[in-house]
Structure 1
Amino acid sequence: MSEPTLSRRHVPSAALIHRRVPEGTGIVHLGLGNFHRAHQAVYTALAMEREPGPWGILGVASRSRAVADAMNAQDLLYSVVEISPEGSRVSVPGSHTGTLVAEQGPESVVRAIADPATKIVTITVTEHGYTVSPETGSLDLDSDAVRRDLAEVRTPRTTIGQIARGLARRASTHAAPITILSCDNLLSNGRQTERLVREFVGTFAPPLRDDMLSWMTSSVTFPNSMVDRIVPSGADRYNEAALAHLGVRDTIAVPAEPFTMWVMEERFAAGRPVWEHGGALFTDDVEPYELMKVRLLNGTHSLIAYLGALDGRATIPESVAQPFVEDAARRILCDEYLPTVTVPESVDTVDYIRQLFSRWSNTALGHRTSQVGSDGSVKLAQRIPIPALEHLGRGTVPQYLSLTVAAYLCCIAPLPGFDPGPHARSMTDPARPRLAGMADNAASTTEFVRSVFVDGGLFPSTLASHTEFVSRIADFVDIIVRHGPAVAAAEASDPDLGTITSLQSRATI
């Protein structure tokens, strides 16, 4: 007899977080991916286990029906498999009350956001999902998707369009307060989301525009938040782990590391679950936690992924096990990112860094370099410019920030004749076609890198005026192409190459 399918009837009670069906749907979540299911959904289940309430989650997938259909077939349940070298632990969060697929029912998403029962809209659509112009940091009004959403009142497709149209319907019907909570790796993610929504609403004709903006000021909050948990892509082996632990079949088990963190501002317009009982931290100032995470963790993670992929390494643990990758990671973290961050008083910096390397070395988790390295055109825009400008303003060329950009370009837009390897080729990036065209048409490496900063749409064009930074990136691209990433990392570690003055002197020899 085959094992039963995961359901509230068959799942072992000890593994099910929040055993009762949620009392109602108070949260609409945009982005029904692995991260949400292993992070916010778990916190919400733990909160409702401690204090029941109408905080069930309507999970909205962007395009694919696969996860939504599988959840519907499993009583809206799935397993979270926490993996470490010491073993695994399986739990089943029971926090969802329904699913939608935005692409197939965009009006349903608007209706859900406008529903008076909805108190919070949460978001995990990655940095790419906010349709931001990399040059201006504002809503990309030249984007075809944004233009379509501005023209189509009932069927928005972008995340910002869905939120703005949902709020507009809410304001024109019952006008109940609501909170929009971004859980993506954007600096000041709440403020950014609010600004983008206001820019969208600002295109409306008066008096709707003015009425909407006034109502948003009084009734809609956008707290900043910081989320942290490594969640790789799913695979059949995690379904097998769920079966071994639970004795029931799960087709969509989510792998995750044991570590998890969530920090938020206490700014909720219509109440919230008691997330602190799941371990969430509430504070008046999230920014130090955001900068710590986006730069120390995410920025360093990117360098590990690009160097590892170029070195033929499939996973982050395999990459950081290479001495040259570990050394580069420690140097960019301690020497180039850490000086640009004010670490919160509650965080022990030495212990935090030790914990990061332990997490990256989790061989049981097997986080793939191709996954971490994907969408770098959006991720690096959050991680590179401000730290780079700080160092350049002090007269220092940041060697490892330069190396990060160079390794990214070698992975995504290799120069003609250079093969970055299968793991780099597996990285997805919306800028790949554009950057590849620049690489193919450039007369020199320096011209290629300069064109990336001037016309690539990745970084603020102000960085292009720092010719020593552009030249250093071009140096590293050439070294990677000719000699490999290990030699490039060794070159970055040379202290004689640390200042603009020494670089200029070296160039004249």
Structure 2
Amino acid sequence: MTPGPHPPRLGAASTPAGTLVHHRGGPETGIVHLGLGNFHRAHQAVYTAQALAHTDGPWGILGVASRSPAVADALRAQDLRYSVLEVSPEGTRASVPAVHTGVLVAAQEPGAVLDALAAPATAIVTLTVTEHGYTFAPGSGGLDLANPLVRADLAGTAPPRTTIGLLARGLLRRARTHGRPVTVLSCDNLVQNGATTRRLLREFAAELPAAEGAELLAYLDTAAFPNSMVDRIVPATTDAYRATAARLLGARDEVPVPAEPFTMWALEDRFAAGRPAWESAGAVFTDEVDAYELIKLRLLNGTHSLLAYLGALHGCATIPEAIARPEIAAAADRVLRTEYLPTVRVPGGMDIERYIAELSARWSNFALGHKTSQVGSDGSVKLRQRVPEPALAHLAAGRMPHHLALTLAAYLCCIAPPPGFDPGPAAAAMSDPARATLTPLAGGSARDFAAAVLRTGLLGAGLAEHTAFADRVAELITVITTHGPLTAARETAEAAEPDTRSPSEDPVPGTPSTTPAH
């Protein structure tokens, strides 16, 4: 479709009928979603729209942005419509989910958000707030009780400003007004994300005044917190994608969402008050979510991090540019196959070799162009979910996880580069809550730097006890800053060569088998 010289704004009247995911009337609101960013709108919202196309139900989504009103304002101006651009080397296809029933901005309308969380019709609360949004304490994985925002939310003298505080206050209001159960469904990249959300809420409740805390804890026992695994590569929106949306829709969409064709959602079927027919859209309901989680967190996300950091240090703006470098591609394959894969269990029916082949194709999608700066951001939170347990498992087996050490070394060179080393613009564009903490540590020797970083608890407490691992990270920092990331990748491959073996020949003790079940 070719837009006119002044295409209309996307809205209910200007949406091409062929792009609508479902043509049912506006559903009632049954889901409140915290986190109105691109991932939610390309993943859970699409699954919900496809489920409504199959089976009717009160499953409209009220979307809640955390602080920025940009997406919410754009959606209000577009009758809550936006497009999902499925981008592949074969071309781009546009669809319009049309599943949102309203939008709010928590920082501007906290009372309305609390009302929505407490509304009797709200059966599910979903979250995509990134790992950083759960206000973990550095190193421990518990609720960060030293965080002034968390302390303020506990005091309750002002509207809540953290995700956990907002959830806690909204659920407490439910308990006090009608007590109907609800499901809280995290869609973030956390190990056991449902159980983690429940634990953080209970930690919050334990810090409240006794009567108030007991009331919230009792209500949490009636709620469901299913674990889930979500997977789809969703880059940031750019003007180029806006132009593509206008061309395909014949209408101007200010907030289109680019996404790869691949999408996956595995979740436990534990819901306290019903759910959409997400299985009709391809979601997998399974008792093996933990296995799906670890495969995604380690094979996809962990390898993705190494690609982002090595790529950024080599001057690659995108992941496809990074994996096009043979040295970086080899490092990615090695960390995936020899250091991550032996530490996961493949769920029944999953063809792991097909999955790995799909990963390579997804990372090589030049049409999508996922930025290394986006993938590499918030590494201090992400890597804690991905690196420590596999590294400790290999160290316990008497093997040095060279490529996990390379992942940490490349991350540190990007986020807290040693004095005199320029990591490049892609690394400089990465955001990270630990940058201010790590940067002062980079002033001494590489060995002191690596050891000090591990002592901060960045990756938990266990790795700080392994001086050989810290020394290996330090060696690779020196190679990166002296000879560059490609040399570091080659040196790591050479050092790891004696450890090369298939997982079936020599699995890491204490970890599940990686033999696919059929």
Is structure 2 residue 172 aligned with structure 1 residue 171?
no
Equivalent residue number for residue 112 of structure 1: 116
Aligned residue for 2:210, secondary structure, equals coil
Mean Cα displacement is larger for which, 235-244 or 285-294? 235-244
Change in Cα spacing, 1:153 to 1:16, as seen in structure 2 (3 Å) is: farther
Tell me if structure 2 keeps the 8 A contact 1:18–1:94.
yes
- 1:215 corresponds in structure 2 to 219
Query: Which residue matches 1:325?
Result: 328
Do 2:402 and 2:496's aligned partners in 1 also have CA atoms closer than 8 Å? no
| TM alignment of 1:282-301, pairs within 5 A | 282-301=285-304
Q: 1:183 aligns with which of 184, 187, 197?
A: 187
Aligned to 1:502: none
Alpha-carbon distance change, 416 to 495 in structure 1, aligned in 2, over 3 angstroms: closer
Offset at residue 498 of structure 1 (A): 5.8
Tell me the SS of whatever aligns to 1:358. helix
Q: Shift of the alpha carbon at 1:54?
A: 1.1
Whether contact under 8 Å (1:304, 1:325) holds in the other structure is yes
Partner of 1:476: 476
Looking at structure 1, the residues matched to 309 and 462 of structure 2 have their Cα atoms a distance apart, in angstroms, of: 25
Amino acid in structure 2 at the alignment position of 1:473: V
Residue 101 in structure 1 maps to residue 105 in structure 2: yes
SS in 2 for 1:14: helix
Partner Cα distance (1:338, 1:23) in 2: 42
Q: Does 1:266 align with 2:269?
A: yes
Look up the equivalent residue of 1:392 and give its one-letter code.
Answer: L
Structure 1 residue 39, shift from structure 2 partner = 0.5
Match of 2:447 in 1: 446
User: Match of 2:59?
Assistant: 55
- Per-residue CA deviations over 1:457-508 (Å, capped at 9, x if unaligned) read 4111221110000000000000000000111111111246767xxxxxxxxx
**Residue 19 (structure 1) shift:** 2.2
- Of the three residues 332, 338, 343, the one matched with 2:341 is 338
* Map of 1:418 onto structure 2: 421
The whole-number CA distance in structure 1 between the counterparts of 2:497 and 2:356 is 26
Deviates more, 1:171-180 or 1:45-54: 45-54
Partners of 1:327 and 1:310 lie apart in 2 by: 16
Contact 2:392 2:462 in 1 (8 A): no
1:177 shift after superposition? 0.7
For the residue of structure 2 that corresponds to 1:245, the secondary structure is: helix
Would you say the 8 A contact 2:150–2:162 is kept in 1?
A: yes
Q: Deviations over 1:238-271 (max 9, x none)?
A: 1111111111111111100000001110000000
Cα distance in structure 2, aligned partners of 1:94 and 1:176 = 28
- The corresponding residue for 1:466 is 466
For 1:505, the equivalent position in structure 2 comes to: none
Which residue does the alignment assign to 2:513? Answer: none
Superimposed CA distance per residue, residues 127-161 of structure 1 (whole angstroms, 9 cap, x where no aligned partner)? 00000113221111011110010012561110000
Match of residue 504 from structure 1: none
Q: What RMSD in Å do the two structures reach over aligned CA positions?
A: 1.2
Runs of at least 4 residues of structure 1 off by over 3 A? 495-499
Indicate if the aligned counterparts of 1:397 and 1:469 stay in contact, CA closer than 8 A: yes
**1:92 partnered with 2:96:** yes
The verdict on how the C-alpha distance between 1:435 and 1:496 changes in structure 2, with shifts beyond 3 A counting, is closer
Paired with 1:215 and 1:252, the residues of 2 have a C-alpha distance of: 37
Match of 1:203 in 2: 207
Aligned to 1:387: 390
Deviation at 1:53, TM superposition (A): 1.4
| Separation (CA, whole Å) in 2 of partners of 1:185 and 1:496 | 29
User: Distance between the aligned counterparts of 1:106 and 1:47, measured in 2?
Assistant: 30
TM-score (norm 1): 0.95
The residue number in structure 2 matching 1:503 is: none
Shift of 1:209: 2.1
Question: Aligned letter for 2:152?
Answer: R
| DSSP 3-state at the match of 2:300 | helix
Matches within 5 A, 1:12-23: 12-23=16-27
Query: In 2, Cα distance between the equivalents of 1:412 and 1:215?
Result: 41
Q: Is the 8 A contact 1:306 1:373 kept in 2?
A: yes
CA contact (8 A) 1:22 1:55 kept: no
Among 356, 364, 367, which residue is 1:364 paired with? Answer: 367
CA offset at residue 360 of structure 1? Answer: 0.2
Specify every segment of 5 or more residues in structure 2 that has no aligned partner in the other structure, as ranges.
500-518
Q: Secondary structure at the match of 1:345?
A: coil
Bigger mean CA offset, 457-466 vs 472-481: 457-466
- Give 2:145's aligned amino acid: L
Aligned positions, number? 495
1:57 aligns to what SS in structure 2?
strand
Q: Deviations over 1:306-351 (max 9, x none)?
A: 0000011110000000000100000000000000000112211111
Q: Which amino acid aligns with 2:468?
A: E
Q: Structure 2: how far apart are the matches of 1:329 and 1:98?
A: 42
What amino acid is the match of 1:454?
Answer: R
